[in-house]
Structure 1
Amino acid sequence: MTGFASVPDGYRSGFACFVGRPNAGKSTLTNALIGQKIAITSSRPQTTRHAIRGILHRPDAQLIVIDTPGLHKPRTLLGSRLNDVVRETWAEVDVVGFCVPADVPVGRGDEFIVNELRSVANRTPVIGVVTKTDLAEPEQVVARLTELSKLMEFAEIVPCSAVDGYQTSLVADLLVKRLPEGMPLYPDGDLTDEPEEILVAELIREAALEGVRDELPHSIAVVIEEMAPREGRHPKAEPMLNVTANIYVERSSQKGIVIGKGGARLRQVGTDSRRQIEALLGTKVFLDLHVKIAKDWQRDPRQLRKLGF
């Protein structure tokens, strides 16, 4: 098969997903396992809106890690759709990693998720993962491990930190151990199966989320209008990609926040995201950003469809 190397006996391949409440460290852990940024991260809860697949290639296995949105009590149609994404994902994977952050006590949000996870735990192993140990004192980590063990019967429980690398390889080992034996599912070298437009839109949204007021994150959506080689460049000039994107918000006051005084905020978003996009695509990028209003899009089925949800 083209693109696939021969694999040793006992080679495993399959799917894992990380679930947890918003801001539990799922995206950062996904990126750490893959070794490259494929899921956007933010200190804001509910940053992840798609089930992003990252592919970890090892001599003994291919692990496809699916980073899911945080499961939460929805207040909008968007929130309900995101919860549906999580439930659909964990019903189809070979192993689930349930994440709780070390620096915050286990709470009702975690209990809510575990109650739902019990429906899949009889057929899919669930590993308890205490994330963000770099932010916690040792006694906090011990407390989280104890709290986690009381929630349900986990196949394993492991503390880790995606930031300093503590036990991330062990997390990968525990997930791989529960995959079925089989050939690789993706060619060697592939790190994700996400379309480039989705990844680019996510990087722009990540930059737009930085430094905005608390009420704004859920109101921002990004749609790529065009990605095409820039024409009319000198034959000896480095190739450049034109990227035109619309940043959607729900109200005119939010539009002002994203643009900033004299356009300074939007320029910063462009600078920050262009650097990330160029690193992702390996080419120079001309980025053209526009801020538009899609009134109350989180609650409007028609607009949700238009924005890709």
Structure 2
Amino acid sequence: MSDETALNEQEGPDEGAYRAGFVTFVGRPNVGKSTLTNALVGEKIAITSSKPQTTRHAVRGIVHRPNGQLVIVDTPGMHRPRTLLGKRLNELVEDTLGEVDVIGFCVPAGEPIGPGDRYINEQLDRAPNAKKIALVTKAETVPRAQVGDQLLAISMLREWDAIVPVSALDDINLETLTDELIALMPVSQPLYPADMVTEEGFEKRAAELIREAALEGVREELPHSLAVTIDDIVLRDDGTTREVYANVFVERDSQKGIMIGRGGSRLKEVREKAAAEIQSIIGGRVIVALHVKVAKDWQRDPKQLGRLGF
């Protein structure tokens, strides 16, 4: 037997084959799932905020490598729901867990593993067919020794297919994570074209970027009460300028006043920030027009949730 034949037999028939599949990152709200998704994709396809429950839809981002393709399904953070919206977001996460090839369980480096993390770890048993890895996120925020302690703590929860400390902001171990994920995917042809980074349409991305801008600087319960819909998108005759007409929904009149601000100052800030973010994904000039509306207690109303896309 030649050395080359022996090597091929050791590697097995799938060694070096192209792999492609789906992965989702789970964890408590605000553990850095969307930031990590954007960093891996190399483009902002999921909005981010310091406010909990920022992500409300399953957003697919696509990572391309010569040896494989990852489809990252960014989902809301898992939590114990207090509203019908919260219940539906948890159901969205549970549905996603049953459909992906790999689940990445995220725990921040600087926060001790608590009841919420253990609850989510238990939910992973409901996806027996998915491979499971553990990620210690925000590794740049603490000393290396503390990252090591967290790696040890997370290793005690279950037997993982891999454990990786990462930082989306400082690009720590992102390529290592990508390699680990591709290696865990099934042998497959590419699932998406090589030039595609997300399947989200322009209207949905615009609505999310407006909501992200509206979340900045708000306090207390208002982040949960915000929802955005698009009425119309008009391309001007110059062929490069888009007018985006959108509604920002809140649950009470007092929240409407906060959203608009004195003399419309806050709404102006939101319009300008949203327009800049939308321009960054399509090029050309963008003009955003916003109308703030009250949809009383929409998070608990099935009909209003349906109208708002949940």
Scaled to the shorter chain, the TM-score interval is over 0.9
Matches within 5 A, 1:232-247: 233=237, 237=238, 239-247=240-248
Matches within 5 A, 1:1-309: 10-120=17-127, 122-230=128-236, 233=237, 237=238, 239-309=240-310
After the TM superposition, which of the residue ranges 144-153 and 21-30 deviates more from structure 2? 144-153
Secondary structure of residue in 2 paired with 1:246 = strand
Aligned-residue offset at 1:135? 1.2
Q: Which amino acid aligns with 2:276?
A: R
Q: Which amino acid aligns with 1:130?
A: V
1:224-281 per-position Cα deviation (integer Å, ceiling 9, x unaligned): 1111212xx4xxx562111100000000111111111111111000111100101112
Secondary structure of residue in 1 paired with 2:184 = coil
Whole-Å separation in 2 of the counterparts to 1:209 and 1:74? 20
Whole-Å separation in 2 of the counterparts to 1:172 and 1:277? 28
Whole-Å separation in 2 of the counterparts to 1:47 and 1:242? 25
Q: Which amino acid aligns with 1:167?
A: N
Whole-Å separation in 2 of the counterparts to 1:193 and 1:239? 22
TM-score (norm 1): 0.93
Choose 1 or 2 for highest CA Rg.
2
The runs of 5 or more residues in structure 2 that have no matched partner are 1-14
Whole-Å separation in 1 of the counterparts to 2:231 and 2:113? 42
Whole-Å separation in 2 of the counterparts to 1:115 and 1:182? 30
Whole-Å separation in 1 of the counterparts to 2:161 and 2:189? 25
Whole-Å separation in 2 of the counterparts to 1:28 and 1:146? 24
Q: Which amino acid aligns with 1:16?
A: V
Q: In structure 2, what is the equivalent of residue 3 of structure 1?
A: none
Q: Which amino acid aligns with 1:259?
A: I
Q: In structure 2, what is the equivalent of residue 4 of structure 1?
A: none
1:144-198 per-position Cα deviation (integer Å, ceiling 9, x unaligned): 1121111111111110100000001111111111111111111111110112111
Whole-Å separation in 1 of the counterparts to 2:142 and 2:29? 18
The runs of 5 or more residues in structure 1 that have no matched partner are 1-7
Q: Which amino acid aligns with 2:240?
A: P
Aligned-residue offset at 1:284? 1.2
Q: Which amino acid aligns with 2:76?
A: P
TM-score (norm 2): 0.93
Aligned-residue offset at 1:117? 0.4
Whole-Å separation in 1 of the counterparts to 2:271 and 2:202? 17
8 Å contact from structure 1 (residues 132, 160) kept in 2? yes
Runs of 4+ in 1 over 3 A off after TM superposition: none
Secondary structure of residue in 2 paired with 1:212 = coil
1:201-246 per-position Cα deviation (integer Å, ceiling 9, x unaligned): 110000000000121111000001111212xx4xxx5621111000
Q: Which amino acid aligns with 1:218?
A: H
> How many residue pairs end up in the alignment?
296
Whole-Å separation in 2 of the counterparts to 1:283 and 1:189? 20
8 Å contact from structure 1 (residues 238, 284) kept in 2? no
